Amino acid sequence: MSNIEEKVVIITGASSGIGEATAKELASKGAKLVLAARREDRLQKLQEEIQNNGGQAIYKVSDVTSHEQMEELAEVALKEFGKIDVLVNNAGIMPQAFLFKKKIDEWDKMIDVNIKGVLYAIAAVLPFMRERKSGHIINLSSVAGHHIYPGGTVYCGTKHAVKAISEGLRREEAISGTNIRVTNISPGAVSSELLKGTTDSETRAGLNEFYKIAIDADSIAHAISFAIEQPSDVAINEMIIRPTVQEG
């Protein structure tokens, strides 16, 4: 029996990219999935695919920028499955541009999704995990959370924040004796829809060129699966996963 089998896993940003790949990977290993994203048609299609392959999945249309909707998501998971074992905090956006271009609306959206959304999802599941003295929170940061580059200043800032939040949460739960595991995963260039968020044409052209080296989202899904599979007394706290040829 896999250590993933029968675990109840919430995945945010499940409608595409890493979230979708992770849902399929974990479903194949017997996890019970609660899929969350804003696009209902995508969620419905993914749920049907998982169920047709013998897996278990429900979905709830959810916006991670709403604390209330994250609380409702956790309640749905508990009502349907009676517990929450894992949160995969995957939802994120990546609009890029130099600061002087003053893409202030994009800054605000990145802060709301990439930082507040991570915190809201954690807040929604943490009380239940602490009560059970068991759980696993997996946050998707980025290589941008380790390496700052021109044009990605605000995005890098949000992903540095995710890394800091992950480490802070890990330390808090470690000294509290709750047995809650925390994993921060930092992907490099991965094939996904993130590039579509960049409205600045000059920056987007550079990103499109750089992302020619991108690896498949399945590679990150396998890493998430690996972290969950470990025995409860083993925590994989940090993973950086790049294409072999990615330098920065």
Q: What is the pLDDT of residue 196?
A: 84
Structural domain of 187: 8-241
Q: Crossing angle of helices 67-81/117-132, nearest 10°?
A: 40
Q: Determine, yes or no, domain membership for 2.
A: no
Does the residue 72 lie in any domain?
yes
Residue 1: band (very low, low, confident or very high) from pLDDT cuts 50, 70, 90: low
Model confidence at 192: pLDDT above 90 = no
pTM: 0.96
Q: Is 1 part of a structural domain of the chain? A: no
Please indicate, yes or no, if residue 248 is contained in any of the structural domains: no
CB 20 within 8 A of CB 14: yes
Sign, CA dihedral 9-120-75-237, equals positive
Interatomic CA distance for residues 55 and 49, integer angstroms: 9
Specify whether the CB–CB gap between 89 and 137 falls below 8 A. Answer: yes
- Give me the chain's average pLDDT, please: 96
Paired sense of beta strands 135-140 and 86-89, if any: parallel
Query: Which positions are annotated as active-site residues?
Result: 155
How many structural domains is the chain composed of?
1
**Which residues does residue 182 pair with via DSSP β-bridges, in sequence order?**
137
Across residues 19-25, what is the average pLDDT?
98
**CA-closest candidate to residue 90, choices 189, 148, 38, 20:** 20
Average pLDDT (120-129) is 98
Q: What is the mean pLDDT of residues 163-175?
A: 98
Residue 66 is part of a domain; what is its CATH number? Answer: 3.40.50.720
pLDDT of residue 243: 97
pLDDT greater than 80 at residue 138: yes
